[in-house]
Structure 1
Amino acid sequence: MLSDQQLQFAIDDARQRHAALTELIYFTDSQAMALLRLYSTVGIAMASASAALFAADPPVSTALAWALASATVVLVIGAVFCWLAMQTLQVSLPGRGAEFWLWAMDARVTAASAFTKYLENLEKESVWNREVNDTTSQHLMAAKIAGVLAPAFAFGAGLLAAQYGG
């Protein structure tokens, strides 16, 4: 059995790890928001330019219009993944509520049982936060991949449109 001092160290260590995981979830959310702003701004500009090029009489450059339109579609897909990365999920915050500490202060509760209960609860909540982090990280990665692929799709669509006459 660990001493009270060792148990306190264990709780501090586990709590710091839990807090770091919560920060990681927040960081993923911040990155997704920044990408969403970028994709929205660039996507709206490209969609407008594409529409103007398609509407021009005579068409100025259908190859360029198709290139911009295809990049816009890929950025919209990336924006959807940004939204998914920022979806509202319940995140477990570090620390315990007042009800836990009121229970732990009860004279019938030993320090060892309070430490055990604290760590068992923290374990469940850490598992949940890891799942949230994994899900949001995967969505963020898909959003980043969309941003990388957008120029390739634009180039390909522009080449196809130029080759086959729009």
Structure 2
Amino acid sequence: MEKSDLRKLAVDDVRARVKAWHDLVLFVDKQAADLLRLYVTLSVAAASFSLGIFKPDPLKGCMAAGLTAIAATLIVGALYCFKAIDDPDVELPGEDGDFWSWAVEEKVSADEVIAHYIKRADISAKKLKEGNERQAKAYRTARRLGVAAPMAGALAAGVSYLVLSGLVSLFLPAVFGGGSFG
């Protein structure tokens, strides 16, 4: 392999790697934005419904507690989506005019230009990789919170049912028939 072929291979490889990291950052950004829209919609619906059914009736209170827990979990998930979307370290691919002005000077050899280009591209790729790792971690947490939301709702409804049925049977047996909801 000749040196000119090696130069072309190196530049093409570095350019493709930077573009791949850039595309991956944009992909996760889009996924997080889509998940954010879903979480906001579902959390607003759950919170609205829980406020609408919140009555002195213990069974409806349990349902409201479950829906409130779902809404709260989804809101925290939405905050992680925001964290995944917010990544100011994304750079545009390619080089600025300053680099190319320097590169066309007569005193600079082609080997120096390629070495400098590869070094700058490597720095850019590392920044994109670090940004993607932060982004992916936040997005992964947001997805896990979405999976945990129904479980949090069921747990909150169950705990509130046990608490309310225990309190009702202790303090108001005549009103609610001994605390049994069934």
Instruction: Tell me the equivalent position of 2:3.
Output: 3
Aligned equivalents of 2:25, 2:128: Cα separation in 1: 8
State the Cα distance separating 1:53 from its structure 2 match.
1.5
- TM-score, with structure 2 as normaliser: 0.86
Instruction: Tell me the equivalent position of 1:47.
Output: 47
Structure 1: 5+ residue stretches without partners: none
Instruction: Tell me the equivalent position of 1:141.
Output: 140
The reply to whether residue 17 of structure 1 matches residue 13 of structure 2 is: no
**Deviation larger for 42-51 or 123-132:** 123-132
Q: Deviations over 1:44-73 (max 9, x none)?
A: 00000111122x365661111010000111
Q: 2:58, 2:161 within 8 Å by CA — same for their partners in 1?
A: no
Structure 2: 5+ residue stretches without partners: 166-182
Q: 2:87, 2:135 within 8 Å by CA — same for their partners in 1?
A: no
State the Cα distance separating 1:23 from its structure 2 match.
0.5
Instruction: Tell me the equivalent position of 1:116.
Output: 115
Aligned equivalents of 2:39, 2:78: Cα separation in 1: 6
Q: 1:88 to 1:127 in 2, by over 3 A?
A: closer
Q: 1:53, 1:59 within 8 Å by CA — same for their partners in 2?
A: no
Superposition RMSD in Å: 1.6
Secondary structure of the residue aligned to 1:117 is helix
Aligned equivalents of 1:66, 1:163: Cα separation in 2: 12
- TM-score, with structure 1 as normaliser: 0.94
Runs of 4+ in 1 over 4 A off after TM superposition: 57-60
Instruction: Tell me the equivalent position of 2:69.
Output: 70
Identity %: 30
Aligned equivalents of 2:152, 2:25: Cα separation in 1: 31
Q: 1:53, 1:60 within 8 Å by CA — same for their partners in 2?
A: no
Q: Flag the structure with larger Rg.
A: 2
Q: Deviations over 1:102-130 (max 9, x none)?
A: 11111111000000000111111111111
State the Cα distance separating 1:165 from its structure 2 match.
1.5
Residue 153 of structure 2 aligns with an amino acid whose one-letter code is A
Aligned equivalents of 2:148, 2:162: Cα separation in 1: 21
Instruction: Tell me the equivalent position of 2:178.
Output: none
Higher relative contact order (CA 8 A, sep 6+): 1
Secondary structure of the residue aligned to 2:149 is helix
Q: 1:63, 1:161 within 8 Å by CA — same for their partners in 2?
A: yes
Q: 1:92, 1:126 within 8 Å by CA — same for their partners in 2?
A: no
